[in-house]
Amino acid sequence: MKRAYERLLDYVVVYTTSDEKSQTVPSAEREFDLAHKLVAEMKEIGIADAHVDDKCYVYGTLPATQGMEDKPVIGFIAHMDTAPDFCGQGVKPVLHENYDGGDVVLGKSGRTLSVKDFPHLKNYVGRTLITTDGTTLLGADDKAGIAEIMTAMECIVADKIPHGKICIGFTPDEEIGEGADAFDVAHFGADYAYTVDGGDLGELEYENFNAAGAKLIIDGHSVHPGSAKNKMLNAILLAQEFQNLLPVHENPSATDGYEGFYHPDSITGSVDHVVVDYIIRDHNMEKFEQKKRFFLQCADFLNAKYGKKLFTVDLKDSYYNMKEKILPENAHLIDNAVRAMEEAGVTPTIVPIRGGTDGARLSFMGLPCPNLCTGGLNYHGRYEYACVESLESCVEILKNIAALYAE
């Protein structure tokens, strides 16, 4: 029987980076490579109806133990794509056994996973770490979640652990905010579910950001620099002027916990034309709406200042805080997750998600879906890593949840 970390090592080398510029579903055809691999493995471990649809969503069910068909149907969900923020092609994972508490050299890249920059490394002395070679991300987000779900299901079958019906789902395109777009909740068939897409061991999340994306389009006036006085309107400088109107401390590097932010995620353009992609986040719905209004007011203010429409905003909501779909009606999802962690020897830490998961969208689609830890850290970059022992604990948590819903 494969251990979770062995599966993770196998999955991360499959190139599945999603494409935020694509108009197709999935956003990248390569995501099917992992989907087909997972379907084959699911069938091998006893999930006979495993299949992938034409949009790259993987579904499968583990039938209930005889006599337990009336138990609640629970689901586990993870996503197959990796973030386009950093290179996800040619991943070469590296095992570091019996970690000594010092800096970790990342292959021959000249990069170091340093204790100074990442002090939480000290929590893993004596354990086995999986890192990158410094040239790519790792992809534990969320292939660690996939590995844990697959391993837990194999254990449940092999050890004949009594359980109700269990539904498994693996999604594409979560990293570009589209993972739940074509998820078929009715076909999935669960009453409740958990996404396995969190971070450090013990983290349990049922509050996430309310989220919006804002495309700021700026039309400048390009004139030869030698004769530009009182004529040129440099769209690059106009973008800077807009950014300077936003609260200086409401950005990701100055916020944590429940604090929201404005984040210019990318910028392209020239003197004549600039496009800035922002994301707007806040856990509190009232503050979220205030942030969106203020963003639009900044554009209106500058258009009024210059006496012409230089600034255009395309603002769209992405997802909402799932808390209202979890508490109080479905508090058992949190209670059982806490108990499952404690039975696995893990201390639960309930924290707000400073981001989003498929579960946030799915909760508003009728499938209440809090988020469980995976044991991975430093997602979306070359310093991403996971702990082997944490992955094994996450497998135990999933097994325990399945058993608790069969009581």
Name the residue ranges covered by the structural domains of the chain.
4-208+321-404, 210-319
- Residue 79 backbone phi and psi in degrees, to 5: -110, 150
Length of the chain: 407
Query: What are the helix and strand counts (H, E) for the chain?
Result: 10, 18
With tokens 């299949």, the residue in question is 51
> What integer pLDDT is reported at residue 383 of this predicted model?
98
Nearest to 249 by CA among 258, 257, 234, 259: 259
How far does Cα 274 stand from its chain's mean position? 28
> What integer pLDDT is reported at residue 318 of this predicted model?
87
Please give the single-letter amino acid code of residue 92. Answer: K
DSSP strand E in 220-348: where? 261-269, 273-282, 311-319
Q: What angle do CA 117, 106, 12 make, to 5 degrees?
A: 105
State both tokens at 316.
Answer: 């769209």
> What integer pLDDT is reported at residue 168 of this predicted model?
98
With tokens 């969190």, the residue in question is 198
Which is catalytic among the residues 19, 31, 41, 81?
81
Q: For this structure, is 178 an active site residue?
A: no
CB-based burial label for 120 (10 Å; 0-12, 13-18, 19+): exposed
Helix (H, G, I), strand (E, B) or coil at 168: strand
Please give the single-letter amino acid code of residue 181. Answer: D
Angle of helix 140-158 relative to helix 388-404, nearest 10 degrees, comes to 50
pTM (predicted TM-score): 0.88
* Residues contacting residue 57 through CB under 8 Å, at least 6 positions apart: 169, 170, 171, 172, 182, 183, 184
What whole-number distance in Å separates Cα of residue 234 and Cα of residue 223?
9
Q: What angle do CA 179, 180, 182 make, to 5 degrees?
A: 100
DSSP state of 375: S
CB atoms within 10 A of CB 341: 25
Which is catalytic among the residues 174, 207, 358, 396?
174
Q: What is the DSSP string of 42-88?
A: HHHTT-TT-EE-TTS-EEEEEPPPTT-TTSPPEEEEEE--B-TTS--
Nearest to 352 by CA among 282, 265, 270, 262: 282
- Per-residue pLDDT tens, the chain, 407 aa: give them: 899 999 999 999 999 999 999 999 999 999 999 999 999 999 999 999 999 999 999 999 999 999 999 999 999 999 999 999 999 999 999 999 999 999 999 999 999 999 999 999 999 999 999 999 999 999 999 999 999 999 999 999 999 999 999 999 999 999 998 999 999 999 999 999 999 999 999 999 999 999 999 999 999 999 999 999 999 999 999 999 999 999 999 999 999 999 999 999 999 999 999 999 999 999 999 999 999 999 999 999 999 999 999 999 999 998 899 999 999 999 999 999 999 999 999 999 998 988 878 899 999 999 999 999 999 999 999 999 999 999 999 999 999 999 999 99
Outline where 125-201 has alpha helix (H).
Answer: 140-158, 185-188
Helix (H, G, I), strand (E, B) or coil at 308: coil
CATH 3.40.630.10 describes domain 4-208+321-404: yes
End-to-end CA distance of the chain: 26
- CATH number for the domain running over 210-319: 3.30.70.360
> What integer pLDDT is reported at residue 355 of this predicted model?
81
What whole-number distance in Å separates Cα of residue 170 and Cα of residue 80?
6
Q: For this structure, is 154 an active site residue?
A: no
